[in-house]
Amino acid sequence: MTTNTDPRPLYGDALAWVRSLAGQIPTDRFTEPTPCADWDVRGLLGHLLATVDRVRAVAEGRDPNVEPVVVTDVDDDGWIAAWDAAVAKALAAWADDDLLDRSVSVPWGTAPGRVAVWGYLNEALVHGWDLAVATGLDPEADPALAEGALAVMTQLLPAGQRGGPVPFSPVVVAAPSTGPTEKLANWSGHGRG
């Protein structure tokens, strides 16, 4: 895969994987810690939902920085319904093929639409991995999806460009037996702690 690949179907697959994870988490685990030090499971679910709202804002030409970083107004038993509604709106907002090559505003500056979608696809897979690790679920998405995302993210997010306006920690060295989703998380600065 390359940065020129249409990432929208892949993003849809990543969102479906996150939904499947969220649907398996009992509400009594919502207060457990995650590899993201700032968020427990509930907070991470809220952040994942916020990223979907933000990618929709990008497609609609709105400032994604106005959208919350974490959605907090969802009842514990309402995550799947909120997720489904947000995903449907976001995917519909990105339906126009012309958006892929149009310059859009993203939290890190401006980028072609397809690069923006790749960034949010990375968010979904990496934070999905965080969610799975925190709750004892299988942390590996479809290997082809994760490998493709990793190939693109190594181009879009070089190892040396971390910190400051680039909100990623240094690369975590992956163990030889690490699966592709964990390798992507490691590339994005996430580890098991």
Give 43-54 pLDDT, tens digit per residue: 999 999 999 999
Distance, in Å, from the CA atom of 48 to the CA atom of 42, rounded to the nearest integer, reads: 10
Q: Which residue has the higher pLDDT, 14 or 171?
A: 14
Domain range enclosing 41: 8-154
What's the pLDDT at 162? Answer: 61
Position 164 pLDDT exceeds 70 = no
What's the pLDDT at 165? Answer: 58
Helix or strand holding residue 106 (H, E): strand 103-106
What's the pLDDT at 97? Answer: 97
What's the pLDDT at 95? Answer: 98
Distance, in Å, from the CA atom of 128 to the CA atom of 22, rounded to the nearest integer, reads: 9
What's the pLDDT at 19? Answer: 98
What's the pLDDT at 192? Answer: 83
If pLDDT is split at 50, 70 and 90, which confidence band does 166 have? low
State the average pLDDT for the chain: 92
Position 80 in a domain:
yes
The percentage of residues in the chain with a pLDDT greater than 70, rounded to a whole number, is: 95
Give 62-110 pLDDT, tens digit per residue: 999 999 999 999 999 999 999 999 999 999 999 999 999 999 999 888 9
CATH code, domain with 139: 1.20.120.450
Position 103 in a domain:
yes
Position 44 in a domain:
yes
Residue 104 φ/ψ, nearest 5 degrees: -125, 160
**Looking at the 3D structure of the chain, how many domains does it have?**
1
CB atoms within 10 A of CB 89: 15
Position 49 in a domain:
yes
Position 36 pLDDT exceeds 60 = yes
Distance, in Å, from the CA atom of 39 to the CA atom of 42, rounded to the nearest integer, reads: 7
Q: Which residues contact 40 (CB under 8 A, 6 or more apart)?
A: 30, 31, 32, 33, 34
The percentage of residues in the chain with a pLDDT greater than 90, rounded to a whole number, is: 78
Q: Say if residues 45 and 161 touch (Cβ distance below 8 Å).
A: no
Class of residue 103 by CB neighbours under 10 A (exposed 0-12, middle 13-18, buried 19+): exposed
Position 134 in a domain:
yes
What's the pLDDT at 167? Answer: 66
> What pTM was computed for the model?
0.94
For 6-27, what is the mean pLDDT?
Answer: 97
Position 50 in a domain:
yes
